Amino acid sequence: MQKPDDSCNQAGSVVNVQDLSIYYRRNHQWRNVVDRVSFDIKQGETLCLLGESGSGKSSIALAIARLAQHARVSGQVIIHNQSVYDLEETALRQLRRRHISFIFQNPEAALLPHRTIGQQLLDVICFRTGDDRKAGVLRAKDLLQQVGLAEQEVWSQYPHQLSGGMCQRVLLVMALCIHPRLVIADEPTSSVDAITQSKILSLLLDLQDHFQFAMLFITHDLTVAAVVADAIGVVKTGALLELQSTQELFNQPRTDYSRQLISAAQTLARTVR
Ligand SMILES: Nc1ncnc2c1ncn2[C@@H]1O[C@H](COP(=O)(O)OP(=O)(O)O)[C@@H](O)[C@H]1O
Ligand SMILES: [Mg+2]
pLDDT value of residue 1 = 42
CA nearest ligand 1 atom 18, residue: 58
pLDDT value of residue 4 = 44
State if residue 56 touches ligand 1 by the CB under 6 angstroms criterion.
yes
Q: Which ligand is nearest to the CA of 62?
A: 1
| Alpha-carbon distances of 19 from 16, 95, 197, rounded to whole Å | 10, 21, 33
State if residue 59 touches ligand 1 by the CB under 6 angstroms criterion.
yes
Rounded CA separation 266/254 (Å): 17
State if residue 158 touches ligand 1 by the CB under 6 angstroms criterion.
no
Give start and end residues of each alpha helix (H) in the chain. 57-64, 89-99, 107-110, 117-129, 133-146, 151-154, 164-176, 194-211, 222-228, 246-251, 256-272
Per-residue pLDDT of the chain (273 residues; tens, 9 = 90+): 444 444 455 468 999 999 999 999 998 999 999 999 999 999 999 999 999 999 999 999 999 999 999 999 999 999 999 999 999 999 999 999 999 999 988 888 899 999 999 999 999 999 999 999 999 999 999 999 999 999 999 999 999 999 999 999 999 999 999 999 999 999 999 888 888 899 999 999 999 999 999 999 999 999 999 999 999 999 999 999 999 999 999 999 999 999 999 988 888 777 765
Question: Which one of 21, 24, 221 would you pick to mutate in the ligand 1 pocket, going by the greatest count of ligand atoms within 8 A of its CB?
Answer: 24
State if residue 57 touches ligand 1 by the CB under 6 angstroms criterion.
yes
Are the CB atoms for 122 and 137 separated by under 8 Å? Answer: yes
Q: In this structure, is the dihedral angle defined by the CA atoms of residues 200, 201, 207 and 210, taken in order, positive or negative?
A: negative
Q: Which atom of ligand 1 is nearest to the CA of 53?
A: 23
Q: How far is the CA of 200 from the centre of ligand 2 (A)?
A: 19
Rounded CA separation 213/189 (Å): 19
Are the CB atoms for 22 and 56 separated by under 8 Å? Answer: yes
| One-character DSSP codes across 72-88 | EEEEEEEETTEEGGGS-
Instruction: Provide the CB-side half-sphere exposure for 222 (13 A, CA).
Output: 20
Domain annotation for the chain: domains and CATH numbers? 13-111+183-272 (3.40.50.300)
pLDDT value of residue 207 = 94
pTM over 0.95: no
Q: Which atom of ligand 1 is nearest to the CA of 24?
A: 4
Rounded CA separation 131/138 (Å): 10
pLDDT value of residue 2 = 41
CA nearest ligand 1 atom 4, residue: 24
Rounded CA separation 110/171 (Å): 8
Please report, as a single letter, which amino acid is at residue 110.
A
State if residue 51 touches ligand 1 by the CB under 6 angstroms criterion.
yes
CA nearest ligand 1 atom 8, residue: 59
CA nearest ligand 1 atom 14, residue: 56
Main-chain phi, psi angles of 200, to 5 degrees: -65, -40
Rounded CA separation 65/80 (Å): 12
pLDDT value of residue 174 = 96
Rounded CA separation 147/236 (Å): 34
Rounded CA separation 242/236 (Å): 10
